Amino acid sequence: MKDPDIGAVARETGLATSTLRYYEEIGLITSSGRKGLRRLFDPGIYERLALISLGRNAGFSLKEIGAMFAQDGNPRIDRAQLHDKADELDRLIRRLRAMRDGLRHAAECPAPSHLECPTFQRLLKAASADAKRGKSKRK
Amino acid sequence: MKDPDIGAVARETGLATSTLRYYEEIGLITSSGRKGLRRLFDPGIYERLALISLGRNAGFSLKEIGAMFAQDGNPRIDRAQLHDKADELDRLIRRLRAMRDGLRHAAECPAPSHLECPTFQRLLKAASADAKRGKSKRK
DNA sequence: GCTTGACCTCAAGTTCACTTGAACTCGTAA
DNA sequence: TTACGAGTTCAAGTGAACTTGAGGTCAAGC
């Protein structure tokens, strides 16, 4: 497996080349060298990008993700931080579940207006309470 | 209950006054009138803001949320749309659940490096596959 | 030898969801 | 009467995560 160039990495991962350059610019990834002008990447880039993907999926910012790598490039993941994030996801999931059920219910609810449906009202109350006490961290 | 001014709404909902003005500017809410310069809001604003909160919680953009209201201000009852959103949420929830479990596992995993843990590897693979096939809609 | 396509740099632009700042107007309380 | 606090407008700024555009380089194929 020869060191892939940016196009190969892009094809393999589904990321835009501009995104890869951007990631390099902010220090999230590094290219292993050049062949002429063109960047070459170490095959390990795929694992790294997968980790980044994982972090993004879990709702970490690129900055946070960057902080999770040690200088050697290996993940340096703080177990407590992982637990926190898992808990945060848990809360998010609960909220989303309520929302999903609410939507489904609303789609079937025979009340003349959703606003008159008690289930929907309960949902609304929960949401505004959520908004009031502390921001949800979710953008 | 007199029509609340912007400060009252802000206190009640936990939203910044600038946010409320912004929401009005983009047409997401309307003020019912003025008393001198000051906006007054119809008490129904609370319900509306709760709906908006609900939508935000579920990960909808302000634009999408706006589209969910009919011109009369009532939530629009496009049952098919609601079902679609619910299904979309379902998929999101499944992904997040996997992620949460993975994070939890990683936090406890005794493998010397996360990269050597099979569960973590599975997670990585899933994340990069996710990234590859279509964007996740989740910012 | 020329064109093409994939790469390069660097600066600037984009979208989202707000926030901030400057300059102004009120109503109320001291 | 003056000072204040809370409201107002409008334009500009913010930060995250990219994308786009202009202008340039280079190897390969016709």
Paired sense of beta strands A33-35 and A38-40, if any: antiparallel
Q: Rounded CA gap, A89 and A87, in Å?
A: 5
Compute the average pLDDT of residues A49-55: 91
Q: Is the same domain home to A12 and A50? A: yes
Is the residue at A39 inside a domain?
Answer: yes
Contacts of A96 in chain B (CB under 8 A): 57-59, 89, 92-93, 96
B62 to chain A, any CB pair closer than 8 A? The answer is no
Total domains in chain A come to 2
Nearest-CA residue of chain A relative to B49?
A: A128
Q: Rounded CA gap, A22 and A7, in Å?
A: 14
Compute the average pLDDT of residues A37-60: 92
Q: Across the strands, what pairs with A38? A: A35
Last residue within a domain, chosen from B67, B89, B118: B67
- Each residue of B56-103: pLDDT tens digit? 887 889 999 998 887 777 776 677 777 877 888 888 888 888 888 878
Q: Rounded CA gap, A139 and B56, in Å?
A: 8
Last residue within a domain, chosen from A46, A67, A88: A67
Q: Is the same domain home to A63 and A40? A: yes
Is the residue at B115 inside a domain?
Answer: yes
B97 to chain A, any CB pair closer than 8 A? The answer is yes
Task: Give yes or no for residue A47 having a pLDDT over 70.
Answer: yes
Which chain A residues in 2-61 sit with Cβ < 7 A of strand C?
A: 5-8, 10, 17, 21, 37-39
Q: Which of B91, B84, B86 is nearest to B136 (CA)?
A: B91
Is the residue at A137 inside a domain?
Answer: no
Q: Rounded CA gap, B103 and A83, in Å?
A: 7
Q: How far is the CA of A110 from the C1' of C10 (A)?
A: 59
Q: How far is CA B25 from the centre of its chain?
A: 19
**Contact: B57, A108; criterion CB under 8 Å:** no
Bases of chain D below 7 A from a protein C-beta are 6-9, 16-20, 24-27
A16 to chain B, any CB pair closer than 8 A? The answer is no
Residue B35's H or E segment, with its range, is: strand B33-35
Is the residue at B90 inside a domain?
Answer: yes
Cα–Cα distances in angstroms (integers) from residue B39 to residues A8, B13, B29, B71, in the given order: 56, 16, 12, 21
Q: Would you say B122 and B129 are in contact if contact means Cβ atoms under 8 Å apart?
A: no
Nearest-CA residue of chain A relative to B9?
A: A132
Is the residue at A119 inside a domain?
Answer: yes
CB atoms within 10 A of CB A49: 25
pLDDT value, residue B32: 95
Is the residue at A1 inside a domain?
Answer: no
Q: Rounded CA gap, A63 and A26, in Å?
A: 9
Is the residue at A14 inside a domain?
Answer: yes
Contacts of A59 in chain B (CB under 8 A): 138
Contacts of B117 in chain A (CB under 8 A): none
- Each residue of B11-43: pLDDT tens digit? 999 999 999 999 999 999 999 999 999 999 999
Q: Is the same domain home to A50 and A94? A: no
Give the structural domain span for A104. Answer: 79-132
Q: Is the same domain home to B15 and B62? A: yes
Is the residue at A95 inside a domain?
Answer: yes
The H-assigned helical ranges of chain B are 6-13, 17-25, 45-57, 62-67, 79-108, 118-132
Nearest-CA residue of chain A relative to B114?
A: A75
What CATH code is carried by the domain that includes residue B10? 1.10.1660.10
Q: Is the same domain home to A11 and A61? A: yes
Q: Rounded CA gap, B24 and A106, in Å?
A: 26
Confidence of residue A138 (pLDDT cuts 50, 70, 90): very low
CA of A69 vs chain B CAs: smallest distance (Å):
12
Residue A131's H or E segment, with its range, is: helix A118-132
Q: Rounded CA gap, B113 and A74, in Å?
A: 9
